[in-house]
Structure 1
Amino acid sequence: MPRFLRFFSVLLVVFLLPHLALRAQQKKGTAAGKLSVRTVRPRADGTPTFPNVNRLAYYHNKKALREIQRAEKRKNWTAARNLLGTYVGQFGIENFYRDTNLLWRLGQLWEKAGNADQAKVYYRLALKHRRQDLKKVQLYYDSLEQKDADLYVPLKVYYDLVEYRKNIASFRPPKGVYTSMGDAVNSPAEDYGPTLNADANQLIFSSKRKMRGIHGVVDEDLYLSRRENELWTDAEPLPKPINSPYNEGSACISKDGKTLFFARCECPTCHGNCDLYVSTFKDGQWTMPKSLGAGVNSGAWDSQPTLSPGEDTLYFASDRLGGFGLSDIWFTVKQKNGQWGRAQNLGPTVNTRESEVSPFYHPLYHVLYFSSRGQLLNFGDFDIYKTYRTRGRWQEPINIGPLVNGKGSEYYFTIDGDSKSLYYARSEEKEMKNLDLYSFPLPMEAQPLAVTHVEGALIDSVSQKPLNGIVSIIDTDNGIEVASKYLRDDGTFDFDLIEGSHYVMLIQSPDFFSVEKKFALKADTVMKLMTNSIDYKLPLIFKNIEFDQDKAAIRPSMHPVLDRIAVFMVDHPTFRLSISGHTDTKGDPDFNMTLSQDRAEAIRRYIEQKGKLKPNRIESMGYGSTQRLKDIEATEEDARTNRRVEFRLIKPEDDKKPDAGAGSGW
């Protein structure tokens, strides 16, 4: 296998965006698709539907509650679960924070029935909508989720591993690097809210670069840049009547490029702080924007529109009253007369008691991306999630991972139709107010087609006990980045990948030599991997370390083993290595002593050169025939046993000498 395939690279994307920007219309719109909608079939996760969410505020039925209580008293758990499930299925929006205890109880009844997956569905709902401390629910949920938790490797460890592996010339450097869109797009002011047309050759975004009036009031407008020969042209403001004396931003555009939805704020005709508007391109110019009306807009903040692939549904963010949290994702459906219907809430699976903003509907698949601070797996303040629509219902949102989501806030993003690049606004940590537009390759966790499940376990082949380590996946067909994870305590791991691609799996640990496996993904896959852990008290002796008689030259047959040792030393820069050469009793003892020393030093030089290791991490010593394993060499096999090279890996805590390696360990 080419050695570069063992290399996994990383992105660090830390978006630190000012929270005040959430109150403006500075969010992103959607990219329009250029092909028909394609089907993605992720696994259904048992997420229920709640038909009353947009019909009534609160559901209460005293008779039904009494029946549930009677079933509980009789300890008829099946009846209680069925009755309570029916009752919870009638919830309106207010029930989710007023009757959170019923969600918790339903989860307990499912757990009592042995259905942990369904129990977690209701525990998650209780936790996402709680307005009081629910430590017991959290403990219940954590106990069930522990065996399936995603243990992502911290980004610092990523970077350390990348730097160490760069020491080997044949390894390739990281490909996933964010790229500024340059001075043609970005300005000294804030630039954000990108959206692409269907061909991904036109970028519309929001910017605060323009000032108006003698007092220099910021004028937020929409700007356009075109891609020409892989470069973006100088951004120009969209003409009137799109831009106006008021603030415009957060646009999305139809597939044919002739309909533009956007937010306009603080205007005399606005129903609230920001309203949604639409304009069409006719006879070479944009028409006068029209409000989507009181059925869609509210007396609050309505912004960040995104079109479904069929362009019959418009999703947006709003902080209007009557939702689940501080701001929610809402949607409106186009009616037969061409008008947009009454806005509806997307429901309690996506929305939480906190804020959901920045929706983006993938142009080709039924996958909705959005930003949230109320979901249960969160790396920072606001993170980006994706949710799949399966059988008419939105599934539990999935965090798209630490290669996108950092310690700050992530929103303002869009994805091209080919799912190759993510466009987003990003601010440097020390310049939090200066947002610029960037792009980078879309990692696996954010890919819409990453729905094929791979799971496995790594077991010690001798003790049959689980091993610890870091597991990395490399997509060798597309070069798509995949965030690495720690093996769980039981040795298990899992990933969602793209079916039809070829992958290399690399599992690394101080306790064993790297485990590598190539596989082509054709369906959901379960694998069991076995390896031997390293016993640091015993020397490592490899049978294929065999020199020509009376010579110390490294033979090609030795390369695979020595390469593995070199990689291990690169991956573990605080470890040291001791090499000792030994001969049989034949011949002159002085010659054998010199020969064993030469052989040990030849191996040392090979490993140091292969791994480009710093000096003094490897010590080599020849002992001739003075340390025999077989005192009497009665057979040729006895002599071969004595002719050996021993390797001892020295852990940092066992090494009394100063460590000469660079960086830190695992």
Structure 2
Amino acid sequence: MLPLIRPLFLLLLLGALLAGPAAAQQPALRQRALTSKITRQLRVRPDATPDFVNVNRLAYFEDKKALKAIQKAEKRKNWNAARGMLEQYVARFGIENFYKNNQMLWRLGQLFERAGNEEKAKAYYRLALKHHRQDVRKIQLYYDSLEQKDADLYVPLKTYYEIVEYRKNIATFRPPKGVYTNMGDGINSEVEDYGPTYNDETSQLIFSSKRKRRGIHGIIDEDLYVARREGESWLDAEPLPKPINSPYNEGSACLSKDGTTMYFSRCECPTCHGNCDLFVSTFKNGQWTVPQSLGMNVNSSAWDSQPTLSRTEDTLYFASDRIGGFGLSDIWFTYKLKSGQWAKAQNMGPIVNTRESEVSPFYHPLYNVLYFSSRGQLLNFGDFDIYKAYRAAGRWQEPINIGPLVNGRGSEYYFTIDAASKNLYYARSEEKQLKNLDLYSFPLPMEAQPLATTHVEGTLIDSVTQKPLGGIVSIVDVDNGIEVASKYIRPDGSFDFDLIDGSKYVMLIQSPDYFTVEKKFDLQADTVLKLMTTSIDYNIPLIFRNIEFDPGKATIRPEMHSTLDRIVVFLVDHPETRLRIAGHTDALGDPDVNEKLSGDRADAIRKYIETKGKLQPNRIESFGYGSTEPLKDEVTEEDRRINRRVEFRLIKPQADQKPADSGAGSGW
């Protein structure tokens, strides 16, 4: 069910790790083997996020004696002792401490920064920002300055799509599979459609919709609908039968892996404890049983909805705006006791939850990865964004925004994916419009992939000046065609991506200042790359040493293709840049014949580039100068070889330059 959306606070925050019960050990050997394989595949390095053991034990922790000892150490400038005691104190925080004693989080971050432990410092700064209820602009600016060297500088979505379109002109680079696609009128309606859950066993999508009206006053009746997949197509959605749907409102379902158990939310019913409660039903003898409430251990007197099962199906995560949480709504969890009953619900803690709203959790069916929607994390592209959080070393790690290919300027909720992590299904609304939620589906991009945990980082340096270069980095997954959002290179020349281990990639770095850098690599482990290239001087023509023709001929040789293709890529990537090609010969032979031969060679190169890049003819000019513009007096055969050349001059948009004149060329 949709949460009650409160006004957005001034600060958009990032966020989070967390806690939850350990997954129950599987008795079956086959399940243990699968779990072991999954653990090996999901290689997540624990970060510096702390753990808080009292979050679900105490509302507020206070130890006046310990506080006096910390103050005494601070007064004596005994920073190591103060840091150790304060860390122990903060580790015992209850939920209320995070906003009542928020300054302690900030101070602890400062003490860790003083000690040179920047990772732990940033972990506590993040907590302070996510749970601060006062004006935190100064704190935010300071934290941003620390994060600047590691910030992800995603290119605008419009620029990304332009890059994709340019790539389609060159067969060498297979374009990504696609962008988000509305699931169509067979599933979506004119009102809100959201809350999808996909079941691999039954190939069915169950979702919530407000399309039904009841009574003479047309009261909205929110129900659960199911659409079945046949091949690549979806059959028209149909409402689930009674007793799942009722005269009350139902929504936000999740299914067990075998499709026989359904957890969902029912609202405003006579037996509900609060606004919405969680219910369960099983499929027996061809029909669903009468739904049963999960009871007061799980449900509260507030709004409880949007359940999702852990991969072992012994833990249930859900969203609730009950009193006693961190923010407007939080992610909570419950787990099965030996008796088969559900334990008292617990809060996931201050890493995942913030002082704002966290909703619509989704647990990956194979991996310990939790996806959820939030408007309280530090990196945010719009209103609500979708994040993923890994579980490692017994704790939930800092949530990661799954990037601009999913998260736009509007709101994204109810993320769900299939077990193979190929396709995602989620609800989104356009910017500043909350009442037009539709369901969308498209291939899962790299940032959202659960196995994208292998780190690739690199720097791009000018080979002459040794200074960092800027540009846009794009990565193509050549094995799977998975999209990877392009990023700008940081001011220090650095960039990084999290990719899937064991896959083949092509890295493309583009800029108007140099030819596209292409790097192919098979990813086997965390990788550090140092790339070098030479900046283009638009005032000096480029001379490529492998551009040589057979004597007396103007036929493009196969060994020229790789160099000419670099020029093609550059012109495709920079559609307003023009090119002038000048052919030159040595002084042997008839001057008129040489002039025609040099012109034919320049024309042959022009036609190759225009055809390969599908370029407009007016972007390239070609000239033949014969032997009239030698670079050297011809005394030796080496002198004649130097004079036999083709010069390429790139012309910036609106640049006023004359056709390629003589000058010292850049050797490539």
| Cα-to-partner distance string for 1:599-654 (whole Å, 9 max, x where unaligned) | 22222222112211112211222222222211x21101111111111111112253
Offset, 1:436: 3.0
Amino acid in the other structure paired with 1:238:
L
| Cα-to-partner distance string for 1:265-296 (whole Å, 9 max, x where unaligned) | 11122111111111122333222212112221
Following the alignment from structure 2 to structure 1, what is the Cα–Cα distance between the partners of residues 232 and 541? 56
* Correspondences of 1:229-248 after superposition (within 5 Å): 229-248=231-250
Offset, 1:148: 1.1
Distance 1:517 1:193, change over 3 A: same
Offset, 1:546: 1.2
In structure 1, the residue matched to 2:650 is 649
Amino acid in the other structure paired with 2:269:
C
In structure 1, the residue matched to 2:524 is 522
In structure 1, the residue matched to 2:561 is 559
Question: Partner of 1:370: helix, strand, or coil?
Answer: strand
TM-score normalised per structure 1: 0.91
In structure 1, the residue matched to 2:20 is none
Offset, 1:484: 1.2
Following the alignment from structure 1 to structure 2, what is the Cα–Cα distance between the partners of residues 606 and 226? 49
Question: Partner of 2:278: helix, strand, or coil?
Answer: strand
Amino acid in the other structure paired with 2:348:
L
Following the alignment from structure 2 to structure 1, what is the Cα–Cα distance between the partners of residues 94 and 287? 45
The answer on 1:374 being equivalent to 2:373 is no
In structure 1, the residue matched to 2:636 is 635
Tell me which moved more, 320-329 or 169-178: 169-178
Offset, 1:180: 3.7
The answer on 1:122 being equivalent to 2:124 is yes
Whether the 8 Å contact between 1:59 and 1:91 is mirrored in structure 2 is yes
Following the alignment from structure 2 to structure 1, what is the Cα–Cα distance between the partners of residues 78 and 280? 56
Following the alignment from structure 1 to structure 2, what is the Cα–Cα distance between the partners of residues 267 and 45? 44
Distance 1:427 1:57, change over 3 A: closer
* Correspondences of 1:413-424 after superposition (within 5 Å): 413-424=415-426
Offset, 1:195: 0.7
Whether the 8 Å contact between 1:469 and 1:507 is mirrored in structure 2 is yes
CA root-mean-square deviation: 2.2
In structure 2, the residue matched to 1:259 is 261
Following the alignment from structure 2 to structure 1, what is the Cα–Cα distance between the partners of residues 69 and 544? 71
Whether the 8 Å contact between 1:200 and 1:416 is mirrored in structure 2 is no
Offset, 1:415: 0.8
| Cα-to-partner distance string for 1:550-582 (whole Å, 9 max, x where unaligned) | 332322222221111111101101111121122
Question: Partner of 1:195: helix, strand, or coil?
Answer: strand
Q: What percentage of residue pairs aligned between the two structures are identical?
A: 76
In structure 1, the residue matched to 2:50 is 48
User: Among residues 400, 403, 406, which one is paired with 1:404 in the alignment?
Assistant: 406
| Cα-to-partner distance string for 1:137-160 (whole Å, 9 max, x where unaligned) | 223322221111111111111122
Following the alignment from structure 2 to structure 1, what is the Cα–Cα distance between the partners of residues 505 and 172? 19
Whether the 8 Å contact between 1:192 and 1:425 is mirrored in structure 2 is yes
Distance 1:538 1:572, change over 3 A: same
In structure 2, the residue matched to 1:469 is 471
* Correspondences of 1:158-307 after superposition (within 5 Å): 158-168=160-170, 172-199=174-201, 201-307=203-309
The answer on 1:481 being equivalent to 2:492 is no
In structure 2, the residue matched to 1:384 is 386
Whether the 8 Å contact between 2:149 and 2:490 is mirrored in structure 1 is yes
In structure 2, the residue matched to 1:452 is 454
Following the alignment from structure 2 to structure 1, what is the Cα–Cα distance between the partners of residues 394 and 624? 72
Offset, 1:21: 7.3
Following the alignment from structure 2 to structure 1, what is the Cα–Cα distance between the partners of residues 601 and 159? 35
| Cα-to-partner distance string for 1:120-170 (whole Å, 9 max, x where unaligned) | 100111111111122332233222211111111111111222222333456
Following the alignment from structure 2 to structure 1, what is the Cα–Cα distance between the partners of residues 109 and 241? 55
Count of residue pairs the alignment pairs up: 631
Offset, 1:393: 0.9
Following the alignment from structure 1 to structure 2, what is the Cα–Cα distance between the partners of residues 352 and 20? 16
Amino acid in the other structure paired with 1:639:
R
Offset, 1:198: 4.1
Amino acid in the other structure paired with 1:633:
E
In structure 2, the residue matched to 1:30 is none
Unaligned runs of 5+ in 1: 1-16, 24-32, 658-666
Offset, 1:20: 6.1
Following the alignment from structure 1 to structure 2, what is the Cα–Cα distance between the partners of residues 536 and 230? 50
Question: Partner of 1:423: helix, strand, or coil?
Answer: strand
Question: Partner of 2:618: helix, strand, or coil?
Answer: coil
Whether the 8 Å contact between 1:452 and 1:524 is mirrored in structure 2 is yes
In structure 1, the residue matched to 2:662 is none
Whether the 8 Å contact between 2:6 and 2:328 is mirrored in structure 1 is no
Following the alignment from structure 2 to structure 1, what is the Cα–Cα distance between the partners of residues 556 and 379? 51
Question: Partner of 1:125: helix, strand, or coil?
Answer: helix
Following the alignment from structure 1 to structure 2, what is the Cα–Cα distance between the partners of residues 531 and 144? 29
Question: Partner of 1:215: helix, strand, or coil?
Answer: coil
* Correspondences of 1:457-606 after superposition (within 5 Å): 457-606=459-608
| Cα-to-partner distance string for 1:303-326 (whole Å, 9 max, x where unaligned) | 001111111111110111111111
Amino acid in the other structure paired with 1:642:
N
Structure having greater relative contact order (Cα 8 Å, sep ≥ 6): 1
In structure 2, the residue matched to 1:14 is none
Amino acid in the other structure paired with 1:507:
I
